[in-house]
Amino acid sequence: MIIKNFLNMKNKILLTILLLLSITAYSQKKDSIAFEKLKFRVEKLEGFQSNTQDALNNKFEEQRKKIQDDYNLIKYLGLFGLGLTVPAILLLWLRGSKYIDKQLKNKFNNIINQREGSILDIINNQDEEKRILRNKKILVLTSKNGDDNFLRNFFKKVDFDIDNVKYIKEEFFDASYLQNIDLVFANNEKEDLDIELIKEYFSNSSSKTVLFYFNTTQKHYRQDDVSNRLSFANTKTQIYGNLINLLKYQKVL
């Protein structure tokens, strides 16, 4: 009877030891998962830190240490099998997420405040460009046998109001075409438009009318009496940017 009781007690002790070992192993497994999650969060914090202003460096370092201290506390509790690892990790994750979200919002607001002037300039430039595309009236001058198909497609695709773009192919000057025109576009891409005809249209245009000369043969064009309101393009890729800048410049004439 005594031996039987001894064996039963021995079995209970062994079961208790096995249970404690299982709890410890489970806690350590959870602890490992928690550590990987925490490491990921810390790395995220450190990566974000490198892209922020120097003034935030100390704050992030303090937060990282606080997170590490919280983790160490959780680790010790886990070793004692108190079963607090998972809830504590969730709490830690929520704290870290809220802190990072707050810092991101602060950083965004700082950028907006610091660059407010630049952002407003961009918005104003876009608005001005839209007004130019919508309102400016353009006369496109091409030689009688010249090709203006590219320019017709160009002005349409870049959103100029097609009703405000007039295309003519003339051998002789006609002043009536210059009425209510903001820009005269000399389409001399292939050097087939008579230079004297260009000069007549340019010289007889209003002093508030800007002038644009397009030519891909790299031949320089000069006309001193209108040089202060004349711009050029030697390639098709230059047309849009130079044209818009010229029409913006027009307001100072």
Residue by residue, pLDDT tens for the chain (253 residues) are 444 444 444 444 444 544 444 544 444 444 555 455 545 554 544 554 455 555 555 665 666 666 666 556 555 555 554 444 556 555 656 666 666 667 666 766 676 566 655 655 555 566 888 999 999 999 999 999 899 999 999 999 999 999 999 999 988 999 999 999 999 999 999 888 999 999 999 999 999 999 999 999 877 788 889 999 999 999 999 999 999 999 999 988 8
State how far the alpha carbon of 87 is from the alpha carbons of 34, 80, 82, 95, in Å: 11, 16, 11, 12
Name beta bridge partners: 213.
186, 232
Beta bridge partners of 185: 140, 212
Number of helices (H), then strands (E), in the chain: 7, 5
- The letter for the amino acid at 198 is I
pLDDT at residue number 170: 86
The CATH class of 135-252 is alpha beta
**CATH 3.40.50.2300 region(s) of the chain?**
135-252
pLDDT at 120: 56
Cα separation, 208 vs 212, in Å, equals: 13
